[in-house]
Amino acid sequence: MATQLEHAAKNQLTKEMEEICREEAVSPELLLDRVRQGQIVILKGRFNEKKVVGIGRGLRTKINASIGTSTDVCDVEHEKRKARIAEEHGADTLMELSAAGDLDLIRREILSEVSLPVGNVPLYQAFCETIQKYKDPTRLDPEFLFDLIEKQCQDGIAFMAIHCGINLFTIERMKKQGYRYGGLCSKGGTLMIQWMMKNGKENPLYEHFDRVCSILKKYDTVLSLGNGIRAGAIHDSLDRAQMAELILNCELCEIARDMGCQAMVEGPGHVPLDEIEANIILQKKMSNHAPYYMLGPLPTDVGAGWDHVTAAIGAAQSSMYGADLICYITPSEHLALPNEEDVATGVKVARLAAHVGDVVKLKGKADEKDKQISKDRRDFKWNEQFKNMLFPDDARQILESRKSLSNKGCSMCGELCALKNAEITLNQYLKDDKINE
């Protein structure tokens, strides 16, 4: 099976590409060129009617929602409900990150539950089952890991976060650096580092990177180059260890593209506001504008309980500067496994943040609804406003539950409504037709 990248290299417009052209209002020529260069990747499950999602340069910023069991909370039906809620509230992709229970069963149940492209982190299952068998993650068998990656691709995983950028060189950078305020915050990355140090061997995912690409290419599963040494604290942002991994992931992304495997780069975790743009510039320049999958970013470390807002501030900036896929953060980040309400809130806030950035990044395209809703708000056309709102049901519920005595405005200003009084003034004094375009 040829990958979307290989089709683009032959100038062949696939039905998936046609769908993205319609949804994103881009020309086939532009899309083909950017898929060919690896600047856009196309995600799609292989079974049933699955949603097609384009991620990359010139497209709308997409939102990923993550779900999954933990060793403390393992309820498959709960995760299935969270998956449905994520899709219902507008997530573009879903990551199934379970780390407890029957992981094959959970993955397959989630895949059948949603139409979204589903991603995962194969190291989670590899280390979980190694620990179950040997009580020791450092006894992971690389052959078992590669077999597992193929099995997960066969099941229909659309994209995989694979920690290839952790190698002996990046670990040495971390050792010589000598400190980290936030330690290591990647579960899979930390266990792989532990495996390497105990066994005195290179990361098999790096050492046999061509094998990783060959497996994913076979199923056209998009490689998401995992960020195992990402910053878990804003004071670790742009440190030597993180930058070493980013440089390596950008190199590996180029190798993957040359092999015909679609790929994107992950990063960066916790980043202060004044470093977000720099981080994206570095990734884009070093990877020839490969899609950037942003984890967060969180621009402060003190927002626990409200980290969905913390992340939204970082996500809006990231979207504006060129990030392509944003991983949502829920209110329970750093505190607990997300519940259903957390998932809904996380998706909504991330969507809003991405749109804020897209208004700038895709100027003239993303802000059309903003322009129309402004005119409809001016003219008190409530039903027309709802059509263009990101969250019309929430807005309608608030309006209806707190009705104004006025038949036009809302209860915020009542009879002192600026728009209502301005309407009288505009009608009386301003005759310029441009005002009412």
> DSSP states of 183-243 as a string?
----HHHHHHHHHHHHHT---HHHHTHHHHHHHHHHHTPEEEE--TT-BSSGGGTT-HHHH
CA pair distance 140, 137, nearest whole angstrom: 6
What average pLDDT does range 413-434 have in this prediction?
69
Q: What is the model's pLDDT at position 419? A: 79
Pairing of strands 118-120, 263-270: unpaired
325, 294 contact by CB (below 8 A)? yes
Q: For the residues 200-210, what does the mean pLDDT come to?
A: 98
Cis-peptide into 268, omega within 30 deg: yes
Please state whether the peptide bond connecting residue 297 to the residue before it is cis, i.e. omega within 30 degrees of 0: yes
Task: Identify the DSSP state of 42.
Answer: E
The predicted model gives 207-231 an average pLDDT of 97
Q: Is the pLDDT of residue 431 over 70?
A: no
Torsional class of 38: left (φ above 0), alpha (ψ -120 to 50), beta (otherwise): left
- pLDDT tens digits, residue range 302-361? 999 999 999 999 999 999 999 999 999 999 999 999 999 999 999 999 999 999 999 999
Q: How far apart are CA 29 and CA 40, in angstroms?
A: 13
Kindly give the interhelix angle for 28-36 and 15-24, rounded to the nearest 10 degrees.
120
Contacts within 8 Å (CB) and 24+ apart, 390-395 = 390/90, 390/348, 390/351, 390/352, 390/355, 391/348, 394/348
Burial of 248 (0-12, 13-18, 19+ CB in 10 A): buried
Mean of pLDDT values over 47-74: 94
Confidence of residue 426 (pLDDT cuts 50, 70, 90): low
Q: What is residue 391's DSSP assignment?
A: S
Percent of the chain exceeding pLDDT 90 equals: 86
430 band by pLDDT with thresholds 50, 70 and 90: low
Provide CB contacts within 8 A for 124, sequence distance 6+. 68, 97, 98, 99, 103, 187, 188
DSSP 57: T
370-403 residue pLDDT tens: 999 999 998 889 999 999 999 999 999 998 898 8
CA distance linking residue 227 with residue 192, whole number of Å = 12
| CATH architecture label of 46-361 | Alpha-Beta Barrel (3.20)
The DSSP letter of residue 138 is: G
Closest CA to 205 of 267, 260, 256: 256
CA dihedral 20, 39, 245, 260 (to 10 degrees): 90
Q: Show the 3-state SS of 140-166.
A: CCHHHHHHHHHHHHHHCCCEEEECCCC
- Residue 399 burial (C-beta neighbours within 10 Å; 0-12, 13-18, 19+): middle
Domain range summary for the chain, segments of one domain joined by +: 46-361, 369-436
- According to DSSP, the residues that pair with 168 across neighbouring strands are none
Confidence at 406, pLDDT banded by 50, 70, 90: low
> Is residue 434 scored above 60 in pLDDT?
no
3-state SS, residue 45: coil
Tell me the pTM: 0.94
The candidate with the shortest Cα–Cα distance to 108, out of 91, 125, 123, 129, is 125
The candidate with the shortest Cα–Cα distance to 271, out of 222, 224, 323, is: 323
Q: What is the pLDDT of residue 433?
A: 53
In three-state form (DSSP H/G/I as H, E/B as E, the rest C), the secondary structure along 85-132 is HHHHCCCCEEEECCCCCCHHHHHHHHHHHCCCCEEECHHHHHHHHHHH
- Two tokens at 299? 């621009």
How many CB atoms lie under 10 A from the CB of residue 183?
10
The SS3 call for residue 296 is: strand
Least Cα distance to 294 among 329, 260, 263, 341 occurs for 329
